[in-house]
């Protein structure tokens, strides 16, 4: 296995044993970026080769002197371009923020720097994280390394594409309705949406503030746990950040859950689920049964309404959050002169793409006088019922499992003119965000045409440690996570 196909944990071990230097790792991934980026289009902003080399040299120098090193020393981490990076452009893949250079780092970027990670470029995404395919980027179309004619998922499509494609061993994404788990599933990776409040949102450019969470993408469960362990924890700058200690996820990873009970919701196995995806999920259940797990049926009766509720709550919050981008206070300003209202209108029309405009209009409508009660407040009531469904189900099981996505990756352009069909890509993931619980996607097979399939694990609030251990049980007896696309 080449250097770029190794996991972060393997690269850390090789450095610790003296067989590898951080500079060698940096060069390997810089070369992979140069060779593969024209094909994959994973990055919004390229890694700065000179800065990457300087970071790697500094880590090697510290190791040579015997100085203490962080837990991610020498490991390149790609950053979704929705996270603020001091002195480096942060665009959200939007023309609206094309020239925005933040004066500060997001909390998770501070954590990566403190642990000696090498910041490795900014990844492409759906504009303002609104989309499920990365086709909504204002700049480029990221591609799936398993089939470059297909989408990598979204909105963290670039973050998934670059890791699956061997351009970085780890990446950060954000998940508002499935934007980490869905691309992880479609690209054959492990992706975690933490419990709401587990990871600080300070410096995360907001889409829907009550739903957004930052999380890791990686090749295997151990790397995913390592990255979450690094970025999680309390931050007083985020009022929704929970002040609970972060469990040592990587230390307990190989301790199986005894008397494991898996809940399977009947609502996740209905119309629209691809037969190959369902077959792979059912086979994963059989593997768990061989490991001693008990499979039971559970019901999430309000989950059929979750997608509709999500597409009211999320656009409503987006309408509010994106109101600041008016060409006066923030963001792109039109070059066409006019009065105040004309400047606002033209700036926003030029700066926002069609999908962002669609969601702003929808969100403004459901918040408007005469419609707020009929739509927005009703959606909040459905959200509470969705959360109660999970609370009730977890009284009977340790984890809920099902498909991450209804299909494998679809072809670029296949759903571009049908927003509703695209929204249905998130049918199994949005309820997790509405309920604020943790969700994890792990690879569990491939279609006959060689496309990855993801198994989704959902847990009660702040049970990330348990989810990692349950995922590791399956990973230890299968090899899906070791497979790499041929590029």
pLDDT of residue 34 exceeding 90, the answer is yes
The DSSP bridge partners found for residue 441 are 191, 456
Cα distance between residue 199 and residue 441, in whole Å: 18
Give tens-digit pLDDT for 148-200: 999 999 999 999 999 999 999 999 999 999 999 999 999 999 999 999 999 99
Q: Which residues contact 462 (CB under 8 A, 6 or more apart)?
A: 195, 198, 242, 244, 438
Which residue of the set 93, 132, 155, 347 is catalytic? 155
Our answer to whether residue 239 is catalytic in this structure is no
Mean pLDDT, residues 103-119 taken together = 98
263 three-state secondary structure: strand
Per residue in 195-240, pLDDT tens?
Answer: 999 999 999 999 999 999 999 999 999 999 999 999 999 999 999 9
Q: What is the pLDDT of residue 419?
A: 83
Domains of the chain: 3-258 (3.90.1300.10)
The residue from 161, 179, 303, 431 that is catalytic is 179
Residue 155 annotated as catalytic: yes
Q: Are strands 452-458 and 43-45 parallel, antiparallel or unpaired?
A: unpaired
Residue 80 among the catalytic residues: yes
Question: Looking at residue 71, what is its pLDDT?
Answer: 97
Q: Return the pLDDT at 365.
A: 97
**64 C-beta neighbours (distance < 10 Å), count:** 9
Q: Work out the burial of residue 410: count CB atoms within 10 Å of its CB; fewer than 13 is exposed, 13-18 middle, 19 or more buried.
A: buried
Please give the model's pTM, rounded to 2 decimal places.
0.97
CA-based torsion, 31, 34, 37, 38: positive or negative: negative
- Tally Cβ neighbours within 10 Å of residue 128: 30
- pLDDT tens digit sequence for 272-307: 999 999 999 999 999 999 999 999 999 999 999 999
125: nearest Cα among 176, 169, 189, 196: 176
Higher pLDDT: 36 or 271? It is 36
Percent of the chain topping pLDDT 90: 95
- pLDDT for the residue 363: 97
Bridge pairing between strands 43-45 and 118-123: antiparallel
* Active-site entry in 6, 80, 346, 415: 80
């Amino acid at each position: 296995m080449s250097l770029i196909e190794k996991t972060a944990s393997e690269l850390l071990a090789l450095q610790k044993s003296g067989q590898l230097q951080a500079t060698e790792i940096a060069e390997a991934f810089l070369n992979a970026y140069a060779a593969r980026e024209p094909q994959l289009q994973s990055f919004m902003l390229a890694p700065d080769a000179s800065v990457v080399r300087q970071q790697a040299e500094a880590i090697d120098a510290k190791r040579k002197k015997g100085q203490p090193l962080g837990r991610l020393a020498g490991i390149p981490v790609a950053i979704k371009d929705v996270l603020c990076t001091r002195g480096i452009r942060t665009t959200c893949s939007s023309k609206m923020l094309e020239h925005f250079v933040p004066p500060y780092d997001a909390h998770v970027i501070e954590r990566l720097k403190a642990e000696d990670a090498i910041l490795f470029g900014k990844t492409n995404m759906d504009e303002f994280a609104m989309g499920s395919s990365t086709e909504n980027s204002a700049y480029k179309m990221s591609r799936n390394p398993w089939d470059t004619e297909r989408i990598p998922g979204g909105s963290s499509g670039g973050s998934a594409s670059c890791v699956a494609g061997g351009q970085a061993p780890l990446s950060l994404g954000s998940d508002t309705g499935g934007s980490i788990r869905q691309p992880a599933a479609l690209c054959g990776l492990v992706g975690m949406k933490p419990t709401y409040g587990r990871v600080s949102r300070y410096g995360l450019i907001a889409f829907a503030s009550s739903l957004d969470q930052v999380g890791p993408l990686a090749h295997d469960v151990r790397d995913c746990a390592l990255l979450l362990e690094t970025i999680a924890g309390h931050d007083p700058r985020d009022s929704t950040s929970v002040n609970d200690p972060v469990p040592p996820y990587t230390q307990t990873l190989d301790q199986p859950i005894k008397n494991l009970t898996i809940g399977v919701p009947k609502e996740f196995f209905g119309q629209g689920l691809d037969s190959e995806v369902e077959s792979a999920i059912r086979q994963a259940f059989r593997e768990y049964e061989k490991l001693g797990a008990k499979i039971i049926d559970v019901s999430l009766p309000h989950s059929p309404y979750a997608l509709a509720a999500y597409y009211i709550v999320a656009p409503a919050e987006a309408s509010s959050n994106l109101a600041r981008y008016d060409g006066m206070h923030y963001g792109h300003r039109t070059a066409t002169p006019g009065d105040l209202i004309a400047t606002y209108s033209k700036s926003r029309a030029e700066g926002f793409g069609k999908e962002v405009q669609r969601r702003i209009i929808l969100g403004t409508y459901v918040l408007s006088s005469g419609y707020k009660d009929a739509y927005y407040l009703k959606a909040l009531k459905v959200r509470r019922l969705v959360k109660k469904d999970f609370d009730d189900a977890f009284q009977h099981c340790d984890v809920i499992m099902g498909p991450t996505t209804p299909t494998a990756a679809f072809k670029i352009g296949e759903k571009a003119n049908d927003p509703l069909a695209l929204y249905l890509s998130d049918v199994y993931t949005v309820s997790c965000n509405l309920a604020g619980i943790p969700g994890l996607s792990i690879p569990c097979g491939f279609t006959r045409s060689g496309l990855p399939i993801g198994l989704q694990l959902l847990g009660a609030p702040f049970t990330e440690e348990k989810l990692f251990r349950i995922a590791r049980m399956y990973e230890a007896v299968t090899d899906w996570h070791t497979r790499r696309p041929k590029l």
